[in-house]
Chains A and B, each alone.
Chain A
């Protein structure tokens, strides 16, 4: 699969903007998708999710929406055969714009703090007898330089503490302490946050910087009417409650000279309950344990993907 993929220029991207936007790349994607596996489809949804192989001209080579590696590999092989057979005059796109579309990636806080966030069901017994047993999801949490510095005690003395600014503790609780293990879930609303307390404490001072301990507690609960079983109960949404309550424990190393965190590990462990429309909890609505891990993100382009709830950060556009 990897060898086949290397014969393409591979990209991963969010489908909603591409299938509904008006920028050049969106319109080209729409042209490609309407030759593909979901062409013209509107029910049960109009999604154009999937894996597409295409020429830059917009000519579809092959497409599929499948988790089966064998089926995807066959699709890629077919696409390569069609690419080889495609006349050179039909491979390239005329009049490709020079300027990329405006995207949140341009707001990547290179001088701030970027965390990778992993979410997984923990200590479940029994586990489902399918992919859900080992399901996990990934997201990111971004902090501007000013926000990151606001997490560090002003005093360098051992025992000095600093409570996280309410806005940042609230944002982490709303946007990252959510049950996306089996699928996307909307962030909590500000009014859903009942508790969001995080404290950073200086545990030691070394030549490497400040060794920091992190502790905290959070709780967010949303109530209302919404579906919890994908499209099957969409027309008959019932009264729902979903919540997420955690205790947090972590440690970090902050380098005062550069103003950067050089190590960061924070675990949030607690319970989740309820479900959202697309997070696959329709048969798992009772309270259950869950874990979230925050670590420093890597430097590769793939680690520059914006947080899923970046729209709720309150950052100016």
Chain B
């Protein structure tokens, strides 16, 4: 019944995409389930430079200390 309702709503609105579901959830619902919540991204508030080299050059020029987060895999990507 739920699937039929979604289909009828989609046809009425002319939005073919809205009828699509994957394993019982819409794309929007999957996005909510998978995408990190803002609280999970708090560490991105730090303006990380993406390489040790770029931070080193900047620290040398501005005479500031370096902070390096080094992991197996890039910490801003897949670790």
Please measure, in the bound complex, the distance between the C-alpha atom of A203 and the C-alpha atom of B30, giving whole angstroms.
20
CB distance from B3 to the nearest CB of A (A): 14
B2 at the interface (CB under 8 A from A): no
Decide if A47 touches B46 in the complex (CB within 8 Å): no
A28 contacts partner chain B, Cβ-Cβ < 8 Å: yes
Where the two chains meet, the residues of A that have a C-beta atom closer than 8 Å to any C-beta of B are: 2, 5-16, 18-19, 25, 28-29, 32, 47-56, 61, 76, 79-80, 83, 88, 91-93, 96, 100-101, 103, 105, 118-120, 122-123, 134, 136-140, 180, 183-184, 203-204, 211, 213, 247-251, 265, 267, 269, 278, 291-293, 295, 301-302, 304-308
**Which residues on the A side are within 8 Å of B78 (C-beta)?**
137-139, 180, 184, 307-308
Chain A residues whose C-beta falls within 8 Å of the C-beta of B57 in the assembled complex: 96, 100
In the bound assembly, the distance between CA atoms of A105 and B77 in angstroms comes to 12
Contacts A122-B34, A267-B22 given; indicate if A10 touches B48 (C-beta within 8 A): yes
Task: Indicate if B38 sits at the interface (CB-CB under 8 A).
Answer: no
Contact across chains for A8 and B72 when beta carbons are under 8 A apart: no
Give residues in B with beta carbon < 8 Å to A: 16-17, 20-23, 25, 27, 30-31, 33-36, 40, 44-60, 62-79
Chain A interface, >50% SS class? mixed
* A136 / chain B contacts, CB cutoff of 8 Å: 34, 36, 40
- Say yes or no: B30 contacts A305, CB within 8 Å: no
Whether A13 contacts B51 by the Cβ 8 Å rule is yes
Best-surrounded residue of A8, A213, A304 (most CB of chain B within 10 A): A8
Closest residue of chain B to A11 (Cβ to Cβ) is B55
CA distance A102 to B34 in the complex (A): 34
The listed residue with most B CB atoms (<10 A of its CB), out of A53, A101, A291, is A291
Closest to A302 in B: B76
Q: A100-B53, A184-B78, A269-B22 are in contact. Are A134 and B40 (CB under 8 A)?
A: yes
Tell me how far the C-beta of B11 lies from the nearest C-beta in chain A, rounded to whole angstroms. 13
Q: Looking across the interface, which residue of chain B has its beta carbon closest to that of A310?
A: B77
CB A312 to nearest CB in B, in angstroms, measures 13
Residues B34 and A9 in contact, CB atoms below 8 Å apart: no
Q: Which residue of B lies closest to A24 (CB)?
A: B53
Partner of B50, one of A9, A12, A269: A12
Assembled-state Cα–Cα distance A122/B30 (Å) = 9
If A8-B64, A213-B16 touch, whether A50 touches B70 (CB-CB below 8 Å) is yes
A2-B46 in contact (CB<8A): yes
Q: A122–B20 Cα gap in the complex (Å)? A: 19
Q: Which one of A29, A83, A305 has the highest number of Cβ atoms from chain B below 10 Å of its Cβ?
A: A305
Across the interface, name the chain B residue whose C-beta is closest to A29.
B52
Q: Is the CB of A305 within 8 A of B17?
A: no
- Set B21, B27, B51, B62: member contacting A11, Cβ < 8 A: B51
Are A184 and B73 in contact (CB-based, < 8 A)? yes
B34 surroundings in chain A (CB, below 8 A): 118-120, 122, 136, 267, 291-293
